[in-house]
Structure 1
Amino acid sequence: MLKIHVVSETPFVMKGQGVHTAFVEQVALLKEKNDVQVVVNEEGWGDVMHCHTYGPYYFWKGRKYKGRRIHTAHVIPDSIKGSLPMWKYLFPFVNWFFKKVFSYADVVIALSPMVEEAILALGVKSRIVKIYNPVLISKWKRTNENRQKGRELLKLSGDKKVILGVGQLQSRKGLEDFLDIAEAIPEATFVWVGGRPFGKLTEGIERINNRIKKASQHIYFAGMFDLAAMPAIYAAADVLLFPSYQENCPLAPLEAAACGMPVVYRDIREYSLLYKFPYLKAATTEAYIALTKKLLHEPEFYRQGLQISEQLIKQFDQEKIRQELIDLYREVVGKD
């Protein structure tokens, strides 16, 4: 039986971000059936290595897998824009480093067409295949029990509508835009869930902290939660705003859509290339405010938003994506 070695540094350093979620959920997905064996990090060795991160652990673990290394490109050079201070000066080094990361792999999984473009732009010669992040729909399904639990976790009271934001506390994620939108809609409660994996190295940390301190009382910053709590956190909300300026194949909006709520994306090229079905989008803060108010106050438009979310997640069917991964592993190892 084919044995897959799944590797990620996120359990040791950064659990509160999308890469860790993707790693955890892929392991769970692979273990759903008995057609392959799965070992994780230090649990042993396999026939093929599939790594989700790009630190020293990736290079160390990969030393025994020449010709059988697979890397999922969750992060590309553009991901540092608005994430780290002085990113413009770091960019040449980041480009050089990620070329090394992707070139070390025999196969690089591009999560979206935009990721594929970024890898090719670096001059990487490794084989590139496009496989999306899967959405484990049953995990995120909304229940009344989860909604009550989520509202308790977020310390919410009353029956006000809840507008959720999920992501790291940094400008790349559109946090300051979220604050502008929230200030314009005092009739709802706005909650942002997420922390700072990079700590004091986060771009614009003082500016953002000052904005958070001055936020109105209907805006709440809840901090980070364990992955196990996130189905309840999503269920506590009514709408997700996702104003991020750069993403690859983000999980948070798909998780929210699977939880049964409208999602409003930023109107950027990444999504127009990625998504096969329509999605709610806003190009400006004013457009975000208008869309959010419409979702809050027009029940028929809200129902349309729910239908859009339901359709959107069909592209990320877990069984289809699982089979694509298994086929790739077998091809790389040379086993039927």
Structure 2
Amino acid sequence: MIEVNVRSISEKVKGQGVDSAFKEHVKILSSSDKIRVFVNSKKIHDILHVHTLDLESSRFMRKYRKHDKKVVVSVHVVPESIEGSLKLPKLAKKIFYSYMLNFYKRADRCVVVNPYFKEELVNLGLDEEKIVFIPNVVASEKFSPVTHEEKLKLRKELNLPLNGFIVVGSGQIQRRKGIDDFVETAERLKDVFFVWLGGFSFGRLMDGYERYKKIVENPPNNLLFTGIVSREEVARYLKASDLFFLPSFHELFPMAVLEAVNCGLPILLRELDIYEEIYFDNYLSGNDTNEFVKRIETLRSNPREYDEWVKRSRKLARIYSPEETLKRWEKLYLDLL
């Protein structure tokens, strides 16, 4: 069996998708009969797979190289995704970008979760032959559809409106996630209830922290900010809702979307080129609050239309099933040895 040491310090920062992706990666590899998976092992194994760009991971990469072992890095962040997320001084940003690219270049394979970013990494100087596309996956049973009765029970437990349409979004509270449009859409649809799952994972370092903190402290009456919650709670809120809405300006392959479709929710996203290559025609989109409001009103008032988008979400969940994704991981590791 191939021994793969999966390394990450993502659990140190709560409420961000890298940690979810890391945990799902470990879970799916653990189901393989070809791979023996280790997590943050101090020993040398056949392959080191890194999820976070920390200095300790960098040292481990050198250690594996010294023993002529292979290194794989999952690309969860590119320079463009930092913009609108973290507020860093220009010099610090320049140093971090340089470190990031050097980190990626030292890997035998860089795994991107969206084929759209292969070109971006090549433009940044990475070898195209070393870049592999393998999508994120949700292998956890906690993300699954529920019956109408179970949905009502969850709403009661979570103190959500028992009747009416509930729209949920998730992620860190930052400009890049489209929080402003999410709030404005809620203000315009006062008879729809909105929930945002997530908070300020990086505190004051986050872009627009002071302004968004005021919004969170005084939201519209029909908008609930839950703060950072566990994945178990994320699953419960998704199951209690009717639509997943993420108006992000930049994403790679959001774990939040996969979690939502696995719960059977239709998804409404901003119209971005990157989504066409991974979600195909299985999502609703808009460019501004006018279009977001229109899409939500249509789904809320037209049961047949709503059911159609539920079917498309379930189709998307099947496309990115754990079984199909595991085959890609096994091939990647086998090809390296």
TM over 0.5: yes
Is 2:88–2:205's contact at 8 Å kept on the other side of the alignment? no
Return the letter of the residue paired with 2:7.
V
Distance in 2 (alpha carbons) for counterparts of 1:5 and 1:148: 42
Distance in 2 (alpha carbons) for counterparts of 1:96 and 1:204: 25
Gaps of 5+ in 2: none
| 1:21-40 equivalence runs, <5 A | 21-40=20-39
Match of 1:154 among 150, 158, 161: 158
With the length of structure 1 as denominator, give the TM-score of the two structures: 0.92
| 1:171-210 equivalence runs, <5 A | 171-210=175-214
Q: 2:121 maps to which residue?
A: 119
Residues 174 and 90 of structure 1: CA distance in aligned 2, closer, same or farther (over 3 Å):
farther
Is 2:114–2:252's contact at 8 Å kept on the other side of the alignment? yes
Q: 2:228 maps to which residue?
A: 224
Secondary structure at 1:54's aligned position in 2?
A: coil
Q: 1:248 maps to which residue?
A: 252
Q: 1:140 maps to which residue?
A: 143
Question: Number of matched residues?
Answer: 332
Secondary structure at 1:222's aligned position in 2?
A: strand
Secondary structure at 1:140's aligned position in 2?
A: coil
Return the letter of the residue paired with 1:189.
F
Q: 1:19 maps to which residue?
A: 18
| 1:70-81 equivalence runs, <5 A | 70-81=72-83
Bigger mean CA offset, 189-198 vs 114-123: 114-123
Distance in 1 (alpha carbons) for counterparts of 2:246 and 2:158: 19
RMSD after superposition: 2.0
Q: How far apart are residue 16 of structure 1 and its match?
A: 1.4
Return the letter of the residue paired with 1:124.
L
Distance in 1 (alpha carbons) for counterparts of 2:155 and 2:56: 38
1:68-121 C-alpha deviation (Å, 9 max, x unpaired): 000010111111111112576655434322211111211100111222122112
Return the letter of the residue paired with 1:5.
N
Q: 1:297 maps to which residue?
A: 301
Return the letter of the residue paired with 2:198.
G
Is 1:241–1:265's contact at 8 Å kept on the other side of the alignment? yes
Distance in 2 (alpha carbons) for counterparts of 1:206 and 1:110: 33
Q: 1:50 maps to which residue?
A: 49
Distance in 2 (alpha carbons) for counterparts of 1:157 and 1:261: 18
Q: Once the two structures are aligned, what percentage of the paired residues are identical?
A: 30
Return the letter of the residue paired with 2:50.
C
Is 2:14–2:228's contact at 8 Å kept on the other side of the alignment? no
Residues 146 and 49 of structure 1: CA distance in aligned 2, closer, same or farther (over 3 Å):
farther
Q: How far apart are residue 300 of structure 1 and its match?
A: 1.2
Q: How far apart are residue 274 of structure 1 and its match?
A: 2.9
Is 2:155–2:162's contact at 8 Å kept on the other side of the alignment? no
Bigger mean CA offset, 307-316 vs 180-189: 307-316
Is 1:195–1:223's contact at 8 Å kept on the other side of the alignment? yes
Q: How far apart are residue 122 of structure 1 and its match?
A: 1.1
Q: How far apart are residue 3 of structure 1 and its match?
A: 1.0
Return the letter of the residue paired with 1:119.
L
Distance in 1 (alpha carbons) for counterparts of 2:82 and 2:73: 19
Residues 146 and 227 of structure 1: CA distance in aligned 2, closer, same or farther (over 3 Å):
farther
Residues 123 and 207 of structure 1: CA distance in aligned 2, closer, same or farther (over 3 Å):
same
Return the letter of the residue paired with 1:75.
V
Bigger mean CA offset, 315-324 vs 284-293: 315-324
Return the letter of the residue paired with 1:163.
V
Q: How far apart are residue 29 of structure 1 and its match?
A: 0.8
With the length of structure 2 as denominator, give the TM-score of the two structures: 0.92
Is 1:264–1:281's contact at 8 Å kept on the other side of the alignment? yes
Distance in 1 (alpha carbons) for counterparts of 2:89 and 2:155: 37
Q: How far apart are residue 153 of structure 1 and its match?
A: 5.6
Is 2:172–2:198's contact at 8 Å kept on the other side of the alignment? yes
